[in-house]
Structure 1
Amino acid sequence: MTRRPITLAVAAGLATALVPLTAAAAAPIACPPTGTEINTELTERFGTYGDTAGRWTGSDSAYSVDLPDGSTAWIYSDTFMGEVDANGGRPADSPFLHNSIVVDDDGVLTTHTGGTEAAPESLVKVAGADETQRWYWFGDATVEDGMLRVMLLEFIKTGTGVFDFKFTGNAVATIDPADMSLVSVTDLPDSTINWGSAIYEDPADGYTYVFGVEDNQAQKYAHLARVPSGSLTTADWEYFGEGEWSTDPAASSRILEGVSNEFSVSRFQGKFTLVTGDATEPLSAKIVMYRSASITGPYTGKTELYTTPETGGNVFTYNAKAHPNLGDRDTLVVTYNVNTFQGSDHYTDARLYRPRYVDVHF
C-alpha cells in the first residue's frame, strides 16, 4: 500500500490532453490552463512560519477548510514539530506526529496538536493505542453545526519495514474550532475504501459527498458516498455503485481510475472538477484535472495542470489537490506534497517536507 508517511512514496502519474467540448455540454467548462505560477503569498507565509515559529516545521496532506470565524484550518497528516536550525535543517530529536492542524487567521498562523507545547502529540490518537503501532491520518474536512468534522483513516503497523502497515478503518473526528480541541471520534461502518479523499458539499441537493480511494498500491480507484448535509456522524451513509445508491458499503463501485490517495472535487466554471496527482504511472511529476457534468461522473477530459519541478533523484511529489475556498472563478489554488526516499534528508533540509502552493489560471 502506498500512502504518505515520512519515508514512503505515494504514486503520482502522467497526464493527457483535454478532450474537445461537445454540443451536448450545456454548462460552460474550463478552457485549458493559460498558465501556472507559484503562489508566493502562501509559500512565504508558511515558509517563514516553519522556519521561525518553533512549532510546525512541515507536514503532508494539506486540506484547507474555512471556519465559521473566517479563518482557515489547514488539515495535516504526518507532521514535524520543533525548531529549524541556522542551516535550514531539523534537529534529529524533532517531534514527529501523525496529524495536526494549523489555523490561518488573516496571515497569523497557530499550530494545534495534542499533548503540550513542550511535548506535542498527534491531535487525534487511537484510544489506548501505541502510536508507533496504530494511528490516524487525516482526510478532508467540513464544518457542520459550527463543529469541524475531519475524516480519519486508521492504520496499523504490521512489521518492521517501512511499507509494513495497512489500513484498518474509517472514522470522523469532531473538533471544536474555538480551540481545536477534540470533542469525539465516531467510527464508520467497516469498509475496504479509504473514505475522506475529498469532500464536496452540494447546496443544490442537500448532500455531503465523500470521495474515497480503493488503494491497490499500483492501481487506485475513486469511490463515492453521500450523507444528508449536516449529518456526517449521525445519518446512514449511502454508497454509489453501478449507477445506484445503496446503504451497503460493499456496494460501492469504481468511478475513476488513476487518482492519488488525496485529491479534490469542486464546482469550477460550470463542471465538477477533480484535481489529483495522476497515479496511472508511478512517481510522475504531473498534476491533472478531470471534468464531469455530474458528481457521480463520468470524469473525463484528463488535462495536465502542472509538472512539479522538485521531482527527481530521491525527491518525489504526491497528493495534489485544489482549494476552491482560496481561488476565484478563473484560478485554482493547488497544493502538493514533497517528500524524499532518503530519510536523513528531512533533517538536512526542512523545506523538503512542506506543501507547495501554485495558482493555475484559466
Structure 2
Amino acid sequence: MCKLSASLLIATVFFWCTACGNRTGARRDSAQAVDTVTLNYTVEEALEWSRLFDRTSGWFGADGIFSIPLHGVDTPQSTKAGKTLLVFSDTMIGEIEDGELQPGSVMINNSVATLDGVVPDENRLQFFWGSDSMGKPMSVFVPKTPQAQPGEYFWLGDGFVNQELGNATYVFGYRIRHTDAAVFPFEEVGNVLIAIPAGSQPPYRDQRQMDTPFYFRDSTDSGNNGSFGAGIFVNTVAAGAPHPDGYVYVYGVRGPKKHVLVARVAPKDFERFTEWRFWDGADWNDDMYKAAPIANRASNELSVTPLPDGRYALVFQTDGIGATVGLRIGLSPAGPFGPIKELWDCPEVKQKGLFVYNAKAHFNLSEKGELLISYNVNSFDFLTDIQKTPTLYRPQFIRVKFE
C-alpha cells in the first residue's frame, strides 16, 4: 500500500510538470525532481549592494526595484559586459545634508536607473526621471492609455527584453489612484503594458502604452482584486533558460491571501492578449478567471528563477508585508511549489512604525550558485519618518548561497 501511494504521488507530480509544458532535465536526480522541501543554503547580508543606493543627492530612495538585463539574457553575471535596467516605483528626489533632509524634496511615482556591468559601483549607476517645463521632477511613465483617467499614476511591475519583437523592453504598469482610506489610501484600477523600443533612452519619449485585460476587479468589494506583472520568467533559449520551453511566464497576485497565479505566452505573441493562457490547476486555459493559485502568502512583487539543481525558486515577502523573506521550491515555472522557507528575518521591522515588503531575486546580478535578493523598507508614518531618517526608504539586499 505504501509503495502504491508513493508511486501515485510521483506520477501525479510528473503529470503536473508535463502538463505545464516543462520537461525534467536529464541531469536531474529522480528524487530531487519530486522534492519541493529539501534545500541546503546559507544567507548573509549583501552590504555592498545595499550601500550602492546610499545616496544623498538627487535620487535618494524608492521602492520597487526590478532588474532587467538589456541584452535579454537573464543568467548569473550575464551583464558583465552589458547594462541592467532598474525600474522603481514611488521615488524620492532631493538633497540630504549632514543626515538631514533639506527643503524642496519631492516624491514622484516611478523612476529608472541603469547599471553598467554587475559590480555594485556607484560610478556605474545612473538614475533617470522626467521633468516638466519648469524643471520640476516628474515620473518617467505617466498613464496615457484610452482607459487612463486624470490624476492616475503608475507603479511598475516586472519587465523583460523581448528578443522576438525587435528587442523592445516590456514593463508592466499598474494604474493607481488615491482614495480616502485611512491606511494605504490608494487602489489599483487597471493594468497596462509599456513597450520601450530598442535603443530608446530615458525618459523614453517614444514609449508605447497598451491597456491590458490582466486586472481582476472584484465587484463584490471583498478585496479579491489582483493583477498580472508581479514577476516574469523568460523560459527561452535566447534568454539562457536551463530548461527552455519557449514561453514567457508572467505571474500575478490576487486577493488578501496573496494567491500567486501564472500565465504564459510565446514571446512573439506578447502583445496579442488573446493568445495568453492561464494555469487552471490541470491545463492552460484561455479564461483568466479560471486561473488557479500555485502558491499563497506571497507579495505583490516577486520573482521566479532557476535553482542550480534544475528546480525553481519563488522568492517573495511572506504575507505581503511580513517580517521575513520567503522562498518556495517549485518543480517547474508553474509549480507545484512547496512550503515556505523563511530565508531572512528583516531587522528593520524592529524599529517602531517600519515595515518591509516586495522581496525578489535579481538573477543576472547574482553570482553563480547564489541569489541576490532585495526587499523594500517603508514607514506607516512616512512623511514624518522620512524627515527624521531620510535614509530609510531604500532597498536592502541579502545573498543566498546554495550548497
Instruction: Work out whether the TM-score is over 0.5.
Output: yes
TM-score relative to the length of structure 1: 0.84
Q: 137, 141, 146: which one pairs with 1:120?
A: 137
- Out of 287-296 and 333-342, give the one that drifted further: 287-296
Residues 168-179 of structure 1 aligned to structure 2 (within 5 Å): 168-176=189-197, 177-179=199-201
Q: Which structure is higher in helix share? A: 2
Matched, 1:39 2:55: no
Matched, 1:333 2:372: yes
Q: Deviations over 1:3-56 (max 9, x none)?
A: xxxxxxxxxxxxxxxxxxx96434898964543222233222221xx22xx321
Which structure has the bigger radius of gyration? 2
Q: 140, 143, 150: which one pairs with 2:161?
A: 143
Q: Is the 8 A contact 1:33 1:360 kept in 2?
A: no
Q: 107, 113, 116: which one pairs with 1:102?
A: 113
Q: Distance in 1 between matches of 2:302 and 2:67?
A: 12
Q: Distance in 2 between matches of 1:169 and 1:154?
A: 5
Q: Is the 8 A contact 1:173 1:185 kept in 2?
A: yes
Q: Deviations over 1:36-84 (max 9, x none)?
A: 222233222221xx22xx3211000111111137111111111101212
Partner of 1:194, secondary structure, is strand
Amino acid at match of 2:171: V
Q: Deviations over 1:61-110 (max 9, x none)?
A: 111111137111111111101212222x3335312111111111243222
Q: Distance in 2 between matches of 1:202 and 1:150?
A: 17
- Out of 122-131 and 204-213, give the one that drifted further: 122-131
Amino acid at match of 2:68: V
Q: Is the 8 A contact 1:268 1:329 kept in 2?
A: no
TM-score relative to the length of structure 2: 0.76
Partner of 1:350, secondary structure, is coil
Q: Is the 8 A contact 1:154 1:170 kept in 2?
A: yes
Q: Distance in 2 between matches of 1:130 and 1:93?
A: 25
Percent identity over paired residues: 28
Partner of 1:353, secondary structure, is coil
Q: In structure 1, list runs of 5 or more residues that go unmatched.
A: 1-21
Aligned-residue offset at 1:301 = 3.7
Q: Aligned residue for 2:252?
A: 212
Q: Distance in 1 between matches of 2:135 and 2:235?
A: 41
Aligned-residue offset at 1:221 = 0.4
Q: Aligned residue for 1:4?
A: none
Aligned-residue offset at 1:329 = 3.3
- Residues 122 and 45 of structure 1: CA distance in aligned 2, closer, same or farther (over 3 Å): same
Amino acid at match of 2:111: S
Q: Is the 8 A contact 1:314 1:341 kept in 2?
A: yes
Amino acid at match of 1:39: A
Q: Deviations over 1:237-277 (max 9, x none)?
A: 21111322122222222111110111110111211110111
Q: Aligned residue for 1:84?
A: 96
Q: In angstroms, what is the RMSD of aligned CA positions?
A: 2.4
Partner of 1:257, secondary structure, is coil
Aligned residues: 331
- Residues 169 and 81 of structure 1: CA distance in aligned 2, closer, same or farther (over 3 Å): same
- Structure number with higher relative contact order (C-alpha < 8 Å, ≥ 6 residues apart): 1
Q: Is the 8 A contact 1:92 1:347 kept in 2?
A: no
Q: Aligned residue for 1:7?
A: none
Q: Is the 8 A contact 2:214 2:227 kept in 1?
A: no
Q: Aligned residue for 2:330?
A: 292
Q: Aligned residue for 2:127?
A: 111
Aligned-residue offset at 1:326 = 1.2
Amino acid at match of 1:141: G
Residues 1-362 of structure 1 aligned to structure 2 (within 5 Å): 24-26=31-33, 32-47=39-54, 50-51=55-56, 54-68=57-71, 70-87=82-99, 89-106=100-117, 107=121, 108-116=124-132, 118-127=135-144, 129-131=149-151, 134-144=152-162, 145-159=166-180, 161-176=182-197, 177-180=199-202, 181-182=204-205, 183-189=207-213, 191-192=215-216, 193-203=226-236, 204-216=244-256, 219-235=257-273, 236-269=275-308, 270-279=310-319, 283-312=321-350, 313-343=352-382, 344-362=384-402
